């Protein structure tokens, strides 16, 4: 059954005022309680579901401005060119030259993905290896995973030999005193918000240097 012009106009009007919408917003705009009708209209308009917030938000594919990783964040709500969180994580890990740690993925997605990674590993969609006191997640393809692992080891050797500026070390240690249960990614994001250039990997290397194993870092 074709969708009438009035319904399409109502949908477009909603997305002129909202860049993302909840199901209740769509019910109100389209004057229907029927989920079937709503998703038929969304499908005709070509839509995306958020990978964050339990997939409760919807947008039209023409709206997002995706970054180089295929991610678009709107007021903390995440959308991906790959659609689902599992597909997004699989793509990010597979394309990464050195794989990805949980902290690195969390920094990209603004979302903890422990459960998603566990399911992908168990489903043989990704592989993983212990890295320092965490894991590095790698492609499920052995040849690709081997190349990623080699690159990760080279990067780790380089970061270990490079001496961090004392000011960065002090920034991380002070933040850790104030937030003793946070992981390297959380410390890095907080410091970056204050204008300090400290990456999650640098924060993690400081944790290791000072043997701060009591801190609950992401595995």
pLDDT digits (tens, 9 = 90+) for 16-28: 999 999 999 999 9
What's the pLDDT score for residue 143? 96
Last residue of a domain, one of 23, 45, 60: 60
Q: State whether 146 and 192 are in the same domain.
A: no
Q: Which of 71, 59, 156, 155 is nearest to 108 (CA)?
A: 71
Assess if residue 67 is contained within a domain. no
Instruction: Work out how many domains the chain is built from and give that number.
Output: 3
Which whole number is the average pLDDT over 168-183? Answer: 85
E strand or H helix that includes residue 192: helix 184-193
Q: State whether 171 and 155 are in the same domain.
A: no
pLDDT digits (tens, 9 = 90+) for 156-173: 765 554 456 777 788 888
Query: In which band, very low, low, confident or very high, does the pLDDT at 106 lie, cut at 50, 70 and 90?
Result: very high
Q: Is the pLDDT of residue 217 over 50?
A: no
Q: Whole-angstrom Cα distance, residue 82 to residue 116?
A: 15
What's the pLDDT score for residue 87? 96
Which residues span the domain enclosing 16?
Answer: 5-60
Mean pLDDT of the chain: 88
E strand or H helix that includes residue 207: helix 200-209
What's the pLDDT score for residue 175? 87
What's the pLDDT score for residue 159? 58
Q: State whether 124 and 155 are in the same domain.
A: yes
Assess if residue 148 is contained within a domain. yes
Q: Is the pLDDT of residue 147 over 70?
A: yes
Is 54 or 195 the better-scoring residue by pLDDT?
A: 54
What's the pLDDT score for residue 219? 40
Assess if residue 137 is contained within a domain. yes
Last residue of a domain, one of 118, 136, 159: 159
Any alpha helices (H) in 46-183, and if so which ranges? 85-95, 102-109, 114-122, 142-161, 166-178
Assess if residue 73 is contained within a domain. no
Q: Whole-angstrom Cα distance, residue 142 to residue 160?
A: 27
Query: In which band, very low, low, confident or very high, does the pLDDT at 202 lie, cut at 50, 70 and 90?
Result: confident
Has this prediction a pTM greater than 0.75? no
Alpha carbon separation from 21 to 4, 8, 50, 55 (Å, rounded): 21, 15, 10, 11
Phi, then psi, of 51 in degrees rounded to 5: -85, -15
Assess if residue 121 is contained within a domain. yes
Q: Which of 131, 189, 128 is nearest to 160 (CA)?
A: 131
Angle at 4 between CA 84 and CA 79, to 5 degrees: 15
What's the pLDDT score for residue 218? 41
**What DSSP letter does each residue of 21-36 carry, written as one string?**
B-HHHHHHHHT---HH
What's the pLDDT score for residue 216? 40
Total residue count of the chain as it appears in this document: 219
Q: State whether 151 and 172 are in the same domain.
A: no
Q: Whole-angstrom Cα distance, residue 183 to residue 93?
A: 20
CATH code of residue 99:
1.10.10.10
Assess if residue 66 is contained within a domain. no
Q: State whether 148 and 177 are in the same domain.
A: no
Q: Is the pLDDT of residue 212 over 90?
A: no
Assess if residue 89 is contained within a domain. yes
Bridge-based pairing of strands 77-80 and 126-131 is unpaired
Q: State whether 131 and 152 are in the same domain.
A: yes
Q: State whether 56 and 91 are in the same domain.
A: no
pLDDT digits (tens, 9 = 90+) for 41-90: 999 999 999 999 999 999 999 999 999 999 999 999 999 999 999 999 99
CB atoms within 10 A of CB 144: 16
* SS3 label, residue 129: strand
């Amino acid at each position: 059954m074709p969708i009438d012009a009035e319904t399409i106009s109502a949908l477009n009007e909603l997305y002129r005022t909202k860049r993302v919408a909840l199901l209740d917003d769509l019910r109100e705009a389209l004057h229907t309680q029927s989920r079937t009708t709503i998703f038929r209209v969304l499908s005709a308009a070509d839509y995306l579901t958020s990978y964050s917030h339990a997939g409760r938000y919807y947008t039209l594919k023409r709206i997002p401005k995706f970054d180089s990783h295929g991610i678009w964040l709107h007021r903390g709500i995440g959308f991906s060119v790959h659609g689902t969180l599992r597909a997004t994580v699989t793509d990010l890990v597979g394309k990464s030259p050195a794989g990805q740690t949980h902290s690195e993925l969390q920094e990209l997605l603004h979302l903890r993905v422990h459960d998603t990674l566990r399911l992908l590993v168990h489903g043989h969609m990704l592989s993983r290896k212990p890295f320092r006191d965490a894991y590095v997640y790698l492609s499920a393809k052995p040849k690709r995973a081997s190349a990623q692992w080699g690159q990760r080891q080279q990067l780790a050797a380089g970061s270990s030999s490079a001496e961090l500026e004392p000011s960065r070390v002090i920034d991380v240690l002070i933040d850790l005193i104030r937030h003793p249960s946070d992981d390297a990614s959380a410390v890095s994001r907080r410091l970056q918000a204050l204008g300090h250039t400290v990456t999650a990997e640098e924060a993690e290397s400081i944790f290791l240097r000072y043997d701060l194993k009591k801190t609950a870092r992401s595995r």
